[in-house]
Amino acid sequence: MASEKPILYSYFRSSCSWRVRTALALKGISYDQVPVNLIKDGGQQFSDEFKALNPMQQVPALKIDGIILSQSLAIINYLEETRPNPRLLPQDPKKRAQVRMIADHIVSGIQPLQNLSVLKQMGEKKMEWAQNCITSGFQALEQILQQTAGRYCVGDEVSMADLCLVPQVANAERFKVDMAPYPTITRINKALLELEAFKISHPSRQPDTPAELRA
């Protein structure tokens, strides 16, 4: 069972799926992808079939080593523990804590507030709400990164924090957030997007990317 190819249930534009796609790419893990369209048919994540895989009815879900995991950071941590090279968590405990802090800041403090399920409730205020959530989060993040960053979020090695940063910047751009006040975020994001793992995991290059959004 454990030798079977992992299967990632993903949506091209989902930032949580994007984090996991990047981790799989960085670690050189080949996998099959099953697209779950969050918009079509009222949202394919609500199907009974998908609910059996992930009761939270969210992507991503990863079938690997005979188990099914959901929640992007839980998946990334499992990959880190079972396939440690290249590492996505620094060996130094202080740096590792900083990586987790930045990742949590994004995945708990910014992204859920502007997620599809929340925006659906916001009606016409959708854009304004998303901009406010991202702006307040980025103000704090810029300040943190000024202390921790080297080439990337924490020093000069790509880490779990970077996997969270890139999709969040893409969300900010989608919601037309002015990025001028965040030079550190912008610089790190630009450096990361030059790396092959971030290119191949990009929403514009997925099997379920609509033709008009393809790179």
Say what the pLDDT of residue 77 is: 97
Domains present along the chain, CATH in parentheses:
7-86 (3.40.30.10), 93-198 (1.20.1050.10)
- Span 8-29, average pLDDT: 94
pLDDT tens-digit series, residues 128-184: 888 989 999 999 999 999 999 999 999 999 999 999 999 999 999 999 999 999 999
Q: What is the pTM of this model?
A: 0.90
* DSSP letters spanning 78-144: HHHHHS-SS-SS-SSHHHHHHHHHHHHHHHHHTGGGGSHHHHHHHGGGHHHHHHHHHHHHHHHHHHH
CA-to-CA dists, residue 93 to 4, 89, 143, 214, angstroms:
34, 9, 21, 40
Say what the pLDDT of residue 1 is: 47
Instruction: Return the higher-pLDDT residue of 16 and 125.
Output: 16
* DSSP letters spanning 9-51: EE-TT-HHHHHHHHHHHHTT---EEEE--SSGGG-GGGSHHHH
**Residue 57 tokens, joined:** 């009815």
* DSSP letters spanning 151-176: SSSSBTS--HHHHHHHHHHHHHHHTT
Q: Given a cut of 50, is residue 191 above it in pLDDT? A: yes
